[in-house]
Amino acid sequence: MLTQDSGWNFSFAGCGFLGVYHIGVASCLQQRAPHVISGATRVYGASAGALTAASLLGGACLGECCADVMELARLARRSTLGPLHPAFHIVKIIRAGLRRVLPEDAHLRAAGRLCISLTRVSDGHNVLVSDFASKEELVQALICSSFVPIYCGIIPPTFRGVRYVDGGISDNVPSYELKTTITVSPFCGESDICPRDSSPSFLELRLKNTSIQCNLDNIYRLSRALFPPEPQVLSKMCQQGYNDALRFLRENTLRVRRRRRVGLTVVQRTVPSAAEPVRKCCSLPLSGGEQKSPVPDEASPLWALEEKLWENLPLPIRVALKNACMEKAGVVAYLRSLYPVRLASYLMLPCTLPVESAVSLTVRVTRLLEWLPDVPDDVRWMSQQALLVVRYLCRQASRSLARR
């Protein structure tokens, strides 16, 4: 049981697109036991876990965060190559989403409590950052913590003049060794809040402090961390995160608020101004001033999820998940899902990829213009790395010649 005397921390593991599980956990904590979040000494996070931790402490609406994750997954699935398509710029999308959902004083709200895991490129050591001078600096730290080399780009981003990459490479669950740290992971294992798979396994893989039980369910989750599954699967993961967090609260005899049943409506997303107060969307009902539109009948085939699957989730997250599940509705989407059509798209990839790259030329030009201010620093860094590689090869060659 958690006590005020000993205190407690939270640590969200890095998991790529499975971060929607963290949103389910965070929404449960925010809705059912807000005192657990407000009483936490620190909240650690790596990669996608850092994004959720920053949203939770920074005062962002988790419903909007969930909608952004589902939209990012949709964009990643849109092309045949998925997130590896040249036109898919994941860093730009994440940066724009963070700037939109985080309030202007997010760095002040998170100062001293939010700890972001980073991996320093120069030596590979783990660095925890907890103080931020501005909202933009907080966003930049989150970008560094989420930057997977090669997958997100070639040149790592910088934070305060130092280059960092994904924090999960060096420490995926920061401060997991502390007994007062509540670990959260979408992989079945020894984490405090994690799925409990039905298939038993005595084998465990510990990957950068992440406990992963060796079973088929975890293998599937690992395969979908960087290549997002269908929206129905992501929705189930979000609901599972909510249920796992609720089970943890009950097992530790923590005070849990009762959930109020609310009718479902589709809320039109609007970008709030900086002067508007930040509302905890998962802890309060919708105000009467928001625009609403009725939802189609629950028995409609548009809904790929059953009511019992998502009925416990807060209303804004339910809306985001249901809107995402409508992606597959329509004749065109049905035809694209057919196996012969998908097979033909893969066979024609050598012909269609150059055309798609040419069409996305405007995107490339825009990206080049955005890169121009950083060209001197990036070129200097690449030349230094090339020099280090040449020196290493020369040393190896000299050693081999000396042995002969």
pLDDT digits (tens, 9 = 90+) for 69-100: 999 999 988 877 778 877 788 999 999 999 99
Amino acid 271: pLDDT: 40
Amino acid 70: pLDDT: 93
Residue 340, domain member (yes or no): no
Question: Does residue 368 sit in the same domain as residue 289?
Answer: no
Tens digits of per-residue pLDDT, 135-149? 999 999 999 999 999
Active-site option among 47, 55, 117, 191: 47
Residue 377, domain member (yes or no): yes
Output the six-digit token pair for 187.
């992989």
Question: Does residue 280 sit in the same domain as residue 378?
Answer: no
60 φ, ψ (degrees, to nearest 5): -80, 155
Question: Does residue 321 sit in the same domain as residue 381?
Answer: no
Amino acid 287: pLDDT: 40
Over the chain, what is the mean pLDDT? 80
**Domain enclosing residue 383, as ranges:** 360-404
On the question of pLDDT at 288 being above 60, the answer is: no
Amino acid 157: pLDDT: 92
Instruction: Tell me which residue of 96, 95, 71, 76 sits closest to 87, measured CA to CA.
Output: 76
Catalytic site residue 166?
yes
Listed residues 328, 348, 377: the one ending a domain: 328
* Comparison of pLDDT for 373 and 89, the residue scoring more: 89
The stretch 368-374 carries a mean pLDDT of: 68
Instruction: Tell me which residue of 167, 241, 178, 152 sits closest to 208, measured CA to CA.
Output: 167
Active-site option among 68, 166, 171, 244: 166
Amino acid 133: pLDDT: 92
The stretch 290-313 carries a mean pLDDT of: 48
Confidence of residue 270 (pLDDT cuts 50, 70, 90): very low
Lookup result for tokens 């809320």: 267
On the question of pLDDT at 219 being above 80, the answer is: yes
Amino acid 346: pLDDT: 64
Question: Does residue 316 sit in the same domain as residue 378?
Answer: no
Question: Does residue 75 sit in the same domain as residue 191?
Answer: yes
What is the DSSP secondary structure assignment for residue 153, as one 8-state letter? Answer: B
CA distances from 317 to 32, 57, 62 (A): 15, 18, 7
Question: Does residue 247 sit in the same domain as residue 383?
Answer: no
Stretch among 100-114, 280-294, 337-351 having the lowest mean pLDDT: 280-294
Residue 344, domain member (yes or no): no
What is the DSSP secondary structure assignment for residue 254, as one 8-state letter? Answer: -
The domain total for the chain is: 2
Taking the C-alpha atoms of residue 323 and residue 310, their distance in angstroms, rounded to an integer, is 13
Amino acid 280: pLDDT: 55
Catalytic site residue 297?
no
Question: Does residue 262 sit in the same domain as residue 367?
Answer: no
Question: Does residue 48 sit in the same domain as residue 155?
Answer: yes
Amino acid 202: pLDDT: 77
Amino acid 342: pLDDT: 67
Amino acid 272: pLDDT: 42
What percent of the chain clears pLDDT 70, i.e. is strictly above it? 74
Instruction: Tell me which residue of 39, 62, 35 sits closest to 282, measured CA to CA.
Output: 62
Taking the C-alpha atoms of residue 389 and residue 376, their distance in angstroms, rounded to an integer, is 20
Taking the C-alpha atoms of residue 386 and residue 390, their distance in angstroms, rounded to an integer, is 6
Listed residues 284, 309, 328: the one ending a domain: 328
Amino acid 5: pLDDT: 59
Q: Are strands 126-129 and 204-207 parallel, antiparallel or unpaired?
A: unpaired
Amino acid 50: pLDDT: 95
The residues, ordered by sequence, that sit 6+ positions from 129 with a Cβ below 8 Å of its Cβ are 115, 116, 118, 141, 159
Amino acid letter, 47: S
Instruction: Tell me which residue of 23, 21, 22, 27 sits closest to 259, measured CA to CA.
Output: 27
